[in-house]
Amino acid sequence: MESQEEKPIIYTMENKPIVTCAGDQNLFTSLYTSLAQQLPREPMEWRRTYGRAPKMIHLEANFVQFKEELLPKESNKALLTFPFLHIYWTDCCDTEMYKSSVKEDMMRWQNTLRTHGSADWVIIVVETSDTKKKNKPNILPRSSIVDKIRSDFCNKQNDRCVVLSDPLKDSSRSLESWNSLLLKLRTLLLMSFTKNLGRFEDDMRTLREKRTQPGWSFCEYFMVQEELAFVFEMLQQFEDALVQYDELDALFTQYVLNFGAGDTANWLGSFCAPVRNWSGLLLRRPIDMEKRDSIQRGEASLLDLRSYLFSRQCTLLIFLQRPWEVTQRALELLHNCVQELCLLEVSVVDGALDCWVFLSCLEVLHRIEGCCDQAQIAANCSHTVGLWAYATDKLKSLGVLCGLVTKKEPTSEDLNKTVDLLAGLGDERPETVNSLQSPYKKLKEALSSVEAFERHYLELSHAAMEMYQAIGRMRSARLVGKSLAEFYMRKGDPERAETFLQEALKSYVSEGWSLPVTHTRRQIAECQKLLGRTEDYLQTCALLAGDVNLTTEERKHFCQEILSFAGKSGDQSHKVSLSMNVFTQLTRLQFHPATLLVHTGGVLQVELTLKSLMPISVHIQQLAASIHFDVDHGGTLGRSKGVKRQTNQGTVEFNLGNPSAGPTSFTGNSRVLEMDEIQDRSPSDNSLNATGLVCKNAHLLIRRHGNSSPSEMAKCVSPPAVAMKEGDQMLKVQDVTLEPGENSIIFTAPSGQPGSYTLRQLCATVGGIQFVQSHVYPSVRYEVYSQEPQLTVEPLSEPLLAGLPQVVKFTLLTGHYTVKKGDALQLSNTDTMPILPSTSCTARISSPAAELVGESVLSIQSSEKVTSISLPPTPPYHTLDFQLEVLCIIPSGLEQPANERLTNGEIRHRPRSYSHPDTPMTAIDQRMSIDCPWSIYSTLLTLTFYIPFKTKHSLLSAGNRKYIQVCVQNMSDMNFTLAEVKLTEKQHASLELQSFNTKTHQLLCSKHSVFCLWEVMWKDDLPSCLQCVFSATFSPTNQDTSAFKPFHYQFQLERVTTLYSVRAAISPPASEQHCRCGLLCGLEVSITRLTEPSEGEITEDSKTDTDGLKTTKLMYEVADSNSNWAVCGKSSGMVLMPMKANATHRVQIEVMPLFAGHLPFPKIRVLKYLPHSAAAAMQPDPDSCIENDSLSLLDKTLDDQADTASIRSRGSVHSVGSSDQQQKGVAMPRLEPFSPGQVFNHSRTQQVLVLPATDDHIMEVNAT
Amino acid sequence: MAVCIAVIAKENYPLFIRSVPTQNELKFHYTVHTSLDVVEEKISAVGKSLGDQRELYLGLLYPTEDYKVYGYVTNSKVKFVIVVDSSNTSLRDNEIRSMFRKLHNSFTDVMCNPFYNPGDPIQSKAFNGIVSGMMVQTG
């Protein structure tokens, strides 16, 4: 209403769709307020063409008075000024009046509309009850007017005429009619939109399709599509509006790209014009009419178009509450514009684009700040930080361009450039003239002076850095920092620069980016040089000189820096210490000998392999290695506790990471398990308590693998200043030249004192510079031991056999003792183990490394008591070994004379034989006593020999004839030949032993036996005791007879004479011819005394009977162990034997065979019966004593047959006593068996035929 | 196509980085290194929302005036970064994706090589060939 007289100014926020009002203006004015308020109250669903989603839309309208000029002409495409709906207002209720004036007016209105092709109209008839009542109460009903209007104008569209009843009254009817009116209006408006916009879009598309035609202009098209965007914006459809701009953007972009591809459009020519204005984006106005006009005129530059397009997009995005998209798009736009200008080959003044970008960045940031609160901005740093960084970047390049980044003032040329650049900015926009912080002012100020530039640049840089840090983009922050450092360097402020560079370097090193590391380090070197921080500078130089990322020339330069410093610093008292790792690396340590163990005074060489990282060969005045010495307590016998640590003995490989921070320093090499064997020994007896493996570097391995290990980082970023520790032992080599790559340097390690030596530090001195490696890891240690001389004697071959010459090996470890000429070993001779003289006895001398050093013949002198072996001169820590033949004489079995004394006064220990658990052979320990020249004490050694034979003897009888059998069993693993087998009796010369052994040589194989037999022949009387000696010679089978060695076996036989002979006969029952199973048979046992009793026998066990006849009490016993016989009646009994030759006693016993067949006779035993009186007087002789259990067994049988007449006749009350009494063995009758030869049983193996029982229904077959 | 291709280990050190020889190699190192910031940001953002069902392709990490940096992260947190010249506008997102897929496949082959020690710089000829195929030699 207000603006209806003027042409509407396009300010889209205030724009509303235009609705014209014709007819009764007063009526409309009265209703306008409520209409304008009510219309947008309810949303309407807007259904769209082309499948676009329907939208709910609040409709507003700008009601203007109808004028013909408002109707668009055919050519006019403006949509904003397009009236979407035409309303005719009337409250006429008088037919007359209608006919006279209103209808005519309506007709005119309709005609005007029709001529302009507008079909969007509606007639509103306002009806008030007042007017009705007041004026014409009797006229036609009002409906008739409405009907008339409808019939006159709306022939087909009845809905084009709406009635509004009582609009100013507050009644339900009024409300209802209002609602239907509003609904109608909205519906019609939307219909109009759909129709008109649809038509517009169709036209627009048609226009777009013509874009390949020559005359087509993007700017024209731009205006058309923007019109559509405006309408959408007007309808608050910002999304749709944005789409229009995005489409335009894309279309333009495509054209630029096509241009790049060679497809040039004519209209692009205007955009290729040189850039003359770089005033940046302008986002403070909703529409930048200035730029819009220039686009419309086709005079816009590329930047103008882009700026305008972006400002529109920005406005819409802010309406849509998407400020962060603005920042993102802004960054894209800025990048894109730079690219496009390049693509279109638009000529731009140097720095103009930087200005434009800088201003634009700040403008966007200001715009965003204007629409968001501080907290929101802080929370969305990630969106804005890119713009900050970009602005910083651009400002810096501007500063560089205009000569503002120097220590001096800018030159006049620089000033000219600045003036040119400022000229392109034009005047400040009116919007920001009053603002103190506008981008325009900032840029102008920054370019005005060096100081102002610095202030602005630092402000921006810090802002960007802080933002990056706040959102955790540390790498980006450091990159800004680096750029700042470069600025400081240009400004001649290396101190500040270094802080930033170090920070950046730390991050590159920790993440293993070698190229940035090198680059940053080079910048640091420059800083340090400027700052005069010599040590740091040299350290950095060393790092750079070894950096493979640099060219050889550069590396040489840095190396030369070090060398020239080293050369000119004359002051030797103060040396600069640098870390060695960057200069040269210890890659390998090799020990000779490789055991890492030497005796005191021994030679141990250490070969260091150093990998020089320098590009040129470097002369080193001195290379020193410090060695820490630990006295090794209680470990003089180094060899016994030699814990072997490294698997590859004597060589230690060092896997150092590349200090110039290649990825290798990171991937965790040197993360090898370092395993050590540990043995826990008891301190008292050195016995093993526990053994195990321990990982020495577990603390390194188990540590969580984070991004970086701080220690490693510290080492690489700025190697710590290391000082050489004094006081330890030093290995020194003077004047070494280290060539690039591997170098080998040999030291001789000290070995003066026993203990362990640990390699601690390395130090290379080049002039006034020391390169120090503060610790060598993994730690390298070698041990020096001192050893007492040690003599061991051991058999050359196991086992040592007694009786044969055996070779034993003497080993002498000289230890720290030097064997001089004339030193001799004194061996005390023993009878049982003589040392066999040998002609060629050679001693071998070998070095600790087991290499043969020399050989010499030993001279051995034997005196009566002592064998003296003179030793050849032997250096310390060598091994002397020789072999001697000894013979251990086999003891013949009988006792030897009492102890003798050895030459040295010690009691000679008789070799005692004993059985060894490991071998069936009998072992003898032979002690040796050796006097050594290095000790006042004798060395006592024991050798164990084994007797290869086991000898047994037995006495065999045949009636009165006697035989002696000797069994020799070979227990060893060797085969022997036995010869000269002989048995002699020592005491009785009259005796003759007749040999039955025919062979002179007898083979005695391993684990086999040889039996020898002799008959004893005597003339007068057989002695009851025989002292026999069995002798033989033996030698291993495959040796000649000269090697035969004697073997003796002594034994004693007692009670040899046969006293009694026992005969048994079994007689069948009287009626039978043969014994029959189950029938009692008679067993007659006749015992005959064969000889007169000897003297001893009479006194010992005879007894004078009452009738004066001498008798001996014997006990017989019949027992059948095989259950072939059942003994009926008494099975044992006492027999009184007259003490004269051929006295015979017969005993009848009844037995019954239990089986048929040839049955062996039951066993008959004859025992001596000693009455209790005699037993009590008897000496307890262990040889003849009957063991208790056998006695009790016999007594038991006695008990069973308690009715034995003879026992009863003895009248002994004790004889049938309880076993308890018998166990005590006091004054009890005893039984004593005869010696094996004393009783001869004639019928020992006799058999008797037993027939089966006669009436056997059951056939019993006994197969045995 | 690409002007720089980098493979970065889980611990953020480069396993492989190659750029067009005509351009400043150092600049690419800085660019790729800085892009790790965004990669980490994206990984952690995705980790929060979607768990394991994440997309390996991270999209455009950040544009600079001259380059576009794209990222891709394998399940084992090995990162691939492809830098494309900004002027090369013909390259579509899908092509970048397929480049990453090819790169990933080739990387998997490298890892399958029993003689390759995981964590070492990649020196495979086949991998190098694939990378060469993706890079413009003319610059």
pLDDT by residue (tens digit) across A244-253? 899 988 888 8
**Closest to A165 measured CA to CA, from A193, A196, A205, A124:** A124
> Could you tell me if residue A1010 is inside a domain?
yes
The per-residue DSSP string of A10-32 comes to --GGG---EEEEEE-HHHHHHHH
A155/A271 same-domain check: no
Q: How confident is the model at residue A719 (pLDDT cuts 50, 70, 90)?
A: very low
What are the C-alpha distances in Å from A1094 to residues A3, A1021, A1023, A1054, A1101? 176, 10, 10, 14, 11
A1073/A1134 same-domain check: yes
| 3-class secondary-structure state, position A493 | coil
CA distance A766 to A583: 11
> Could you tell me if residue A1015 is inside a domain?
yes
Q: What ipTM was estimated for this complex?
A: 0.92
A964/A1101 same-domain check: no
> Could you tell me if residue A526 is inside a domain?
no
**Per the CB < 8 Å rule, is B37 touching A472?**
yes
Q: How confident is the model at residue A1220 (pLDDT cuts 50, 70, 90)?
A: very low
A205/A221 same-domain check: no
What pLDDT was estimated at residue A903?
A: 46
What pLDDT was estimated at residue A1172?
A: 63
Q: What residues of A are in the B interface, CB distance below 8 Å?
A: 257, 260, 331-332, 334-335, 338-339, 342-343, 382, 386, 390, 468, 471-476, 479, 508, 511-513, 515-516, 519, 663, 666-668, 705, 707
**Per the CB < 8 Å rule, is B65 touching A338?**
yes
The per-residue DSSP string of A983-1026 comes to EEESS-TT-EEEE----SEEEE-TT-EEEEEEEEE-SS---SEE
What pLDDT was estimated at residue A457?
A: 92
A202/A219 same-domain check: no
A316/A386 same-domain check: yes
**Per the CB < 8 Å rule, is B41 touching A707?**
no
| B27 to chain A, closest Cα gap in Å | 9
Q: Cβ of B43 under 8 Å from any chain A Cβ?
A: no
What pLDDT was estimated at residue A465?
A: 92
Task: Number of A to B CB contacts under 8 A, please give it.
Answer: 75
* Chain B environment of A332 (Cβ under 8 Å): 63
A473, A516, A663 ranked by CB distance to B29: nearest? A516
The per-residue DSSP string of A552-587 comes to HHHHHHHHHHHHHHHHH----SS-EEEESTTTEEEE
Place of tokens 């003589």: A834
* Chain B environment of A516 (Cβ under 8 Å): 26, 29-30, 33
**Closest to A274 measured CA to CA, from A353, A336, A220:** A353
Which of A888, A917, A947 terminates a domain? The answer is A947
Which of A426, A447, A474 terminates a domain? The answer is A426
Question: Chain A residue closest to B89 (CA)?
Answer: A257
Beta strands per DSSP E along A508-643: 576-579, 584-592, 597-599, 604-612, 618-630
What pLDDT was estimated at residue A1264?
A: 65
> Could you tell me if residue A509 is inside a domain?
no
CA distance B87 to B64: 11
Query: Which of these ranges, A22-26, A662-666, A833-837, has the smallest mean pLDDT?
Result: A662-666
Q: Give me the mean pLDDT over the A436-457 stretch.
A: 86
Residues A460-495: tens digit of each pLDDT: 999 999 999 998 889 999 999 999 999 998 888 888
A474, A663, A667 ranked by CB distance to B37: nearest? A474
- Choosing among 3.90.550.10, 3.40.50.2000, 3.90.245.10, 3.30.450.70, the CATH entry for B2-134 is 3.30.450.70
Which of A947, A982, A1005 terminates a domain? The answer is A947
| A507 to chain B, closest Cα gap in Å | 10
What pLDDT was estimated at residue A700?
A: 65
**Per the CB < 8 Å rule, is B34 touching A516?**
no
A334, A390, A516 ranked by CB distance to B33: nearest? A516
* Chain A environment of B64 (Cβ under 8 Å): 335
Share the mean pLDDT of chain B.
85
What's the one-letter identity of residue A333?
Answer: L
| A651 to chain B, closest Cα gap in Å | 25
Share the mean pLDDT of chain A.
77
With 0-12 / 13-18 / 19 or more C-beta atoms within 10 angstroms meaning exposed / middle / buried, residue A363 is: buried
**Closest to A560 measured CA to CA, from A519, A618, A521:** A618
Residues A398-419: tens digit of each pLDDT: 888 888 888 888 888 888 888 8
A260, A331, A472 ranked by CB distance to B63: nearest? A331
| A227 to chain B, closest Cα gap in Å | 30
With 0-12 / 13-18 / 19 or more C-beta atoms within 10 angstroms meaning exposed / middle / buried, residue B58 is: buried
> Could you tell me if residue A84 is inside a domain?
yes
| B36 to chain A, closest Cα gap in Å | 8
pLDDT above 80 (res A842): yes
What pLDDT was estimated at residue B105?
A: 94
A69/A169 same-domain check: yes
Question: Chain B residue closest to A513 (CA)?
Answer: B13
**Higher-confidence position of A319 and B8:** B8
A1152/A1247 same-domain check: yes
Q: Give me the mean pLDDT over the A540-549 stretch.
A: 86
A813/A826 same-domain check: yes
* Chain B environment of A335 (Cβ under 8 Å): 63-65, 86
Residues A19-59: tens digit of each pLDDT: 888 887 888 888 888 887 777 777 878 777 777 778 788 87
Identify the CATH number of the domain in which residue A98 sits.
3.40.50.10140
What pLDDT was estimated at residue B16?
A: 93
**Higher-confidence position of A1256 and A599:** A599
* Chain B environment of A704 (Cβ under 8 Å): none
* Chain A environment of B15 (Cβ under 8 Å): 663
Q: Cβ of B30 under 8 Å from any chain A Cβ?
A: yes
Residues A848-880: tens digit of each pLDDT: 777 888 888 888 888 878 888 888 888 888 888
**Closest to B19 measured CA to CA, from B35, B30, B34:** B30
**Per the CB < 8 Å rule, is A511 touching B33?**
yes
* Chain A environment of B63 (Cβ under 8 Å): 331-332, 335
Q: How confident is the model at residue A572 (pLDDT cuts 50, 70, 90)?
A: low
For an interface test with B, which of A255, A339, A523 has the most B Cβ atoms less than 10 Å from its Cβ?
Answer: A339
Q: Give me the mean pLDDT over the A965-992 stretch.
A: 84
A954/A850 same-domain check: no
Peptide bond into A754 cis (omega under 30): no
A47/A103 same-domain check: yes
Strongest mean pLDDT among A177-186, A813-822, A1210-1219, B69-78: B69-78
**Per the CB < 8 Å rule, is A476 touching B33?**
no
A332, A471, A511 ranked by CB distance to B13: nearest? A511
What pLDDT was estimated at residue A1187?
A: 38
CA distance A891 to A728: 64
What pLDDT was estimated at residue A1123?
A: 78
A1037/A1136 same-domain check: no
pLDDT above 80 (res A439): yes
**Alpha-helical segments (H) within A1135-1187:** 1172-1177
**Per the CB < 8 Å rule, is A508 touching B33?**
yes
Q: Which DSSP symbol is given to A75?
A: S
Identify the CATH number of the domain in which residue A1012 sits.
2.60.40.1230
| A594 to chain B, closest Cα gap in Å | 32
Q: How confident is the model at residue A342 (pLDDT cuts 50, 70, 90)?
A: confident
Residues A218-243: tens digit of each pLDDT: 888 888 888 888 888 888 888 888 88
Asked if residues A32 and A1 have their Cβ atoms less than 8 Å apart, the reply is yes
Instruction: Give residue A1082's domain range.
Output: 1060-1251
Residue A1230: beta bridge partners?
Answer: A1170
Q: Cβ of B36 under 8 Å from any chain A Cβ?
A: yes
CA distance A286 to A267: 27
Q: Give me the mean pLDDT over the A1224-1232 stretch.
A: 63
Question: Chain B residue closest to A708 (CA)?
Answer: B11
Interface of B with A in 110-129 (CB under 8 A): 119-121
CA distance A85 to A182: 13
**Per the CB < 8 Å rule, is A663 touching B9?**
yes
Domain count within chain A: 6
